[in-house]
Amino acid sequence: MDDVSRIRDRIDELDQEIVKLLKNRYENARLLGRIKQQRHLEYRDPEREKIILRKIERAATSLDLDPKLIQPIFEQIFTFSVQAQRDQPEKSAKRLDQTRILIVGGTGGMGRFFARFSSLHGAKVKLAGREISKTRTAAKEMEVEPGTILDAASSDMVILSVPMEETVRVATETASLMTTGSLLADLSSVKTGISDRVAEKIPKGLEYVSLHPLFGPGVDHLHDQIIVAVPYSPGQKWTRLSRALQSGGSKIQTMSAAQHDRAMAYVQGLHHFALISLGLGLNGMGGEPRTQSLRETEGRIVRMLDGWDVIVGIQQLNPFLPPVRQKFLELATNLAQIRSKQASGVKKRLVSNVQKWSRKL
Ligand SMILES: NC(=O)c1ccc[n+]([C@@H]2O[C@H](COP(=O)([O-])OP(=O)(O)OC[C@H]3O[C@@H](n4cnc5c(N)ncnc54)[C@H](OP(=O)(O)O)[C@@H]3O)[C@@H](O)[C@H]2O)c1
């Protein structure tokens, strides 16, 4: 490939990244717009725009870019953001309009994410946590109502976002309060021994779908995000929730608990295990110099630390993970002993794996 084509390809990639960043900015501006609407604040804030422009000017100068070239682009972005703030879902797009949703574990990361999502789609959301004062603070921050587990009795849907090891107990207790035809959904990252036990223990007549969002609470929007659904007893309420999730751009993949855990043993379990081992193994490094690639790996390790309990839970509770980890350790041991002649065989296997996953190369 000549240099012109190579550089054009890179520019095309960068353009795609810019569009994705604009989408993230747009969705955050929409959330802000909703809060401003509730608080009767102006969408446009000239003071804030001045502050942003000063920051942009400093950043551009430090990167040897002429701030005068960047400024008009940001002025366009401000217009785009004001439009995003005004772009609240139409009533017809409020797929959860008037649906009463209780989020148990609503003070935590994923609980807050689903509270925000449900509320944006018109639901009447209540949060329940373990401590009433913490619950009230979280509810106030999210502009929803504080509640308790007793509100399960008057809810159309209950979303359980509690630690995996607590899911069966909290689900059983909550389900005993719910009325026939309402939906229970948990978010547990491991299903075997959890969702199958919940399904056995809860009263007949409830809808029950075990969900696993394949993203963390820090994502800006649902677009292109995958949510795995293990539908034990789905019904109309699940149809309503899944339509709302899909209208936000997410993709629902339906599978059994065992299929989910078998896949997650690689997708999360082994991936996290390798990153943890790498993070510990890098102990001998002084800190500098670092490559861009290592910085990106560090970023992944730091993000894992943010959700450490979930990472540990997956390592301990996914029953398909121990043999996958063991196989990985054997592979790594063999790899450390290979001679240069065997390296081409390793490359072939690696290429074949990459082709299988991404159909690239
Ligand atoms: N984080 C992720 O990236 C991610 C992604 C997909 C799925 N999930 C799943 O989502 C669920 C929640 O994860 P998270 O990251 O949001 O956790 P989190 O931020 O730690 O939140 C956990 C929530 O559960 C409550 N809680 C803690 N211990 C409890 C107990 N013994 N009984 C009842 N409630 C309890 C907490 O209440 P307090 O405020 O009282 O502590 C908090 O509201 C887990 O099942 C996890 O597997 C997480």
Which atom of ligand 1 is nearest the CA belonging to 164? 45
Pick from 130, 125, 122: which is nearest to 142 by CA?
125
* 278-293 residues labelled b (16+ CB within 10 A) or e (exposed): ebeeeeeeeeeeeeee
**Cα–Cα distances in Å, from 219 out to 192, 224, 242, 303, 334?**
26, 11, 19, 12, 38
Q: Which of 137, 189, 194, 212 to mutate to test the pocket of ligand 1 (most atoms within 8 A of CB)?
A: 189
Domain limits at 80?
Answer: 3-86
Residue nearest to atom 6 of ligand 1 (CA): 213
Residues 52 and 185 in one domain: no
> What's the pLDDT at 94?
81
Q: What whole-number distance in Å separates Cα of residue 292 and Cα of residue 273?
A: 22
Q: Ligand 1 centroid to 238 CA: how many Å?
A: 22
- Judge if 308 and 223 occupy the same domain: no
β pairing state of 226-233 and 157-160? unpaired
End-to-end CA distance of the chain: 14
Token representation of residue 333 = 């041991």
Residue 74 CB coordination number (10 Å) = 19
Residues 186, 104, single domain; the answer is yes
**Total domain count, the chain:** 3
Residue with tokens 């603070």: 137
pLDDT block averages, 10 residues each, the chain of length 361: 92 96 92 87 92 95 95 94 84 81 97 94 96 96 95 98 98 98 98 98 97 95 95 98 94 98 98 97 91 96 95 98 98 92 90 86 62
Residues 354 and 266 in one domain: yes
CATH number, domain of 117, equals 3.40.50.720
Examine the domain organization and report whether 108 and 224 are in the same domain: yes
> At which of 48, 69, 86 does a domain end?
86
Whether residue 199 sits in one domain with residue 235? yes
Same domain, 244 and 171: yes
The answer to whether 21 and 76 are in contact (CB under 8 A) is no
Task: Please report the pLDDT score of residue 162 as a whole number.
Answer: 98
By three-state DSSP, how is residue 47 classified?
A: helix
Domain C-terminal end among 211, 237, 255:
255
Rounded Cα gap, residues 330 and 73, in angstroms: 53
Domain check: are 251 and 265 in the same one?
no
